[in-house]
C-alpha cells in the first residue's frame, strides 16, 4: 500500500526549500522564531537566532510564516 503524502509534510518542505522565517508555536505555548532547516516523520529542527531548536512534530501547534502571504 502506498503512503499518501501529508499536507503538513508538503508545507514543511516548502518552508525548508524557500528558507522561510517562521514562528513555531508549541502546544505548551512556547514560541520558537527562526528558520526551519530539516524535519522527518517525528521531529522538526529549526535554526533560531542564538541556538538550534528540536521539537517533536506532535508538539507543534501552529507554524505560521513571519511574513503573511499576499492576498490577490
> Whose grid coordinates read 521539537?
55
- pLDDT confidence band for 69 (50 / 70 / 90): low
- pLDDT confidence band for 1 (50 / 70 / 90): very low
**pTM here?**
0.71
CB within 8 Å of 64: residues ≥ 6 apart:
22, 23
Question: What are the boundaries of each domain within the chain?
Answer: 7-62
Mind listing the pLDDT tens digit for each residue in 19-56? 888 888 889 988 888 898 999 888 888 888 888 888 88
Correct CATH for 7-62 of 2.30.30.100, 3.90.1150.10, 3.30.70.1150, 3.40.50.720? 2.30.30.100
pLDDT of 72 higher than 60: no
pLDDT at residue 50 in the model: 87
Q: Taking CA 36 as the corner, what is the angle to CA 44 and CA 40, rounded to the nearest 5 degrees?
A: 30
Element housing 7 (H / E) = helix 7-18
pLDDT at residue 49 in the model: 86
CB within 8 Å of 26: residues ≥ 6 apart:
32, 55, 59, 60, 61
Amino acid at each position: 500500500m502506498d503512503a499518501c503524502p501529508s499536507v503538513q509534510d508538503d508545507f514543511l518542505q516548502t518552508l525548508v526549500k524557500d528558507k522561510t522565517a517562521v514562528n513555531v508555536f508549541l502546544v505548551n505555548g512556547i514560541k520558537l522564531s527562526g528558520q526551519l532547516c530539516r524535519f522527518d516523520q517525528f521531529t522538526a529542527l529549526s535554526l533560531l537566532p542564538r541556538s538550534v531548536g528540536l521539537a517533536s512534530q506532535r508538539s507543534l501547534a501552529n507554524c505560521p510564516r513571519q511574513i503573511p502571504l499576499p492576498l490577490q
